[in-house]
Structure 1
C-alpha cells in the first residue's frame, strides 16, 4: 500500500468513510467507488476504502469481529496467522516463561496482537514502511507492543532484554501493480532465510518460526519440534519451535483444531495433538470402513501413528487412507459436552462397494443407481475430478461419494458414505 494513501486512510475523514461503508459486496464494488467519487471523495481514497472493505470481509475468517478495526494489505492478510492459532503461539511463550518477545517479521501484526494481548512485552519489526505503519495501527490498543520500521535481525537482543523470538518469514514474491504474488517453496528463498533466524537461538534459545505447511522433512533442524497445524481440515501452517518452546522435545507433531458453535451460540475449539514415531504400518485389503487422516497428520508424516490409533491398516503403502473392519472410536466434531473433548484425527466413511477404475464401468454403476450428483475424493491418482464429473454425464436424483485411489498398487474406485450420513 502506498504510504500517501495509508496516511489518507488514517485521517479522521478516511477512517470515518471506511466505517460508513455497507457490508462488502463484490457485485456492488464498482458502484460504491463511483458513488464515493460522485460525492467528491478523491479517486485514490475511494478505491482504498473499498479495497479495505473487501480485505476486511475476507479477514473475518481469520480475525472474526477484530477485522472491523484493522487495516490490511492483500499479501499481509494472505500470510497472517489466524487469531485462534496466534493465541496458541502466545501460550507457548507464556508457558516457557518468556516475558519480552521480538516479532522479527511482524507483517500486519497478527501474531503480535496475540502476544501483546496475553501481556507479553513485544518489539515488532518489519522492513516495509507501510506494513509497519499498518501493524502500528492494528496494535494501537496495546501499550505492551512497540512497532519499528527496520530489520529485526539487527536488533540488539541483549540490550532490549529480549528472551523470546518469533519470525514469520515472507513466503511470497511481490505481485507488482495489479499482479498476483507467487508462493515461495524453498526455505532458503524466504525473507529472511531460515538459516539466519535459526542462528539467533545461540543468543536467545526460545525461538519460534512459522513456515509454510509444504516444507519438506529433509533438512529440518534436529533440535526443533516441527508442528503442522490444521483448522477445520485446512492445513494452515507449520511451526519450528526451539528450546523451552518445545517442552516435549524435538520431533514432528500435528495439531488438529476443530471449531463449532453450539445451540446457545457459544463458540468452541476442540484440539488434539498427535506425536510419535511413524513406524511402518500394516497394509491390507479394504475393510468395511475407510478413514482419511487429518491433513496435518499427513503432512507431519504420522499416518502410521493414526493407523495404530484407529486400529486399522493402510490400503497401500504409499497412500494416506486407513481401512478397518469395524468402526473406530473417534470423538465427535460436535460433542454434546465440549469441555474436555478432543478433535477427531480422521474423517470416516462406510465402504459400500469397490471396483477397478474404468470410466465405462463407473458410468454404468452410477447410472444403474440413479446417481446424478457425485462427490469425488482422490489420492494417488492423476484423474482430475472436474473432468471426470463431466465425462460421467450423470442425470439421476441420487447422491454418491466415490474415492479414487490405489489399493495394493492398483487403481480402484471405492464407493463410500460419510459416517453419520442418513
Structure 2
C-alpha cells in the first residue's frame, strides 16, 4: 500500500545532528583537526521539547483512515518524522513552517506502527519522541462486490476496469477512494476513473485500448474509509492483457451483425432483436462474460411467464438487465427479416457458436437503430459517455 522505502519525511537539521545528538564536536558536527579540545568545544544547546503526536502512545484502537499529525511545541520545528509498519514507510507532508507533519493517506488495518519524531530549536537543540500504536480492524469492513476483469485475463479493446463495492461510498469519501486506485498501462494511454453509481467506479481509457497493451491495477484499500465508518482491510492488485481489436456492429433496422477484426470484416450474420415495446437497448457495450448454456426465465426480467428455457446455447452477455447475443433456433425464420425477441439478440445456432468462440470479454459490441439507449452502468456500457462527460463523473478531476 505504501512504498517500501525509508520513511524519512525530511532531512535532519545539520546543526542539530541526528536523533538528538548535540553539535558539540565542532562547528560541522565532527571533531576538527588541530588545536586543543578546549579551544573548539562549544556549549551543548538546550534540548528541544518532544513533539505532540495526535495518536496516544500504546493505543490499540487507532482508526486507519483518521488523520495522524505530529506537531512541534511553541518555538520549535519538526526536523524529521519516521512512521513505519515493518519495513514499509508511511509518507507525509510538512506544513510550510515545518511546525506540523501530517501522514499521507490511510494506515493499514490491524497492524502495529512505530513512530519517531525529531524536534529542533533555533539554537540547535533537539528532542526526540518515540511511540508505538496499533490500528483497529473493523467488524464490518469495506467489501468488494465485483472487480473486473479477472487477473491474468486476455480481453477486448473495450474492457473497462470495474470496481464495485457492496455498500455505497459517501460523497466525501470518493476522492480519497479514487486516489487510492491506480492503473498503469504499457504502452501508456490516457484514462480516468468515473463513478457510475455510489458503489461503483470504473476506469477506461480515452479511446479503446491498443491491442497488446499490458495493464496493471492497484487497489490500495487497506485502511481506506468509505465515509460511513467502514474501511478496507486488504489491498488488491491484478493485471490483464488486451488482445486483438474486435468490434461488432448489430444493426437492428437491417437485422444484421457485422464483425470486424483489426478493421477488416471477418463475419456477418442475420439476427433478430427485441420486438416493438421490448426493444433491445442501443449503445456501445463491452462484453461482460459468456457462457455455453444459460437458463433464461422471463420472471427474472419482469416478464411474467412469457418463457422458461433451461439451456439457451452460446450466450454472450452484454447487459446486467439480461441482454445476450445467443442461439435462437426457434426464430431462424425471422432473423434478418424482423425483430421478434423479448430483448435479446438471437441468431442461428451455427452463427451463435461462431460468435461465442470468437468473442473475448471486453470486445466491443455496438447495437444501433433501436428507439432506446442503454445506461452506462447497465453492464460495461462505459463507452456510452463521450470523454468530457466521462470526466465529470470523477471525484478528483
TM superposition score category, shorter chain reference: under 0.3
TM-score of the pair, normalised by structure 2: 0.24
The structure where helix makes up a greater share of residues is: 1
Tell me: higher relative CO, structure 1 or 2? Use CA pairs within 8 A at least 6 residues apart.
Answer: 2
Greater C-alpha Rg: 2
TM-score of the pair, normalised by structure 1: 0.23
The structure where strand makes up a greater share of residues is: 2
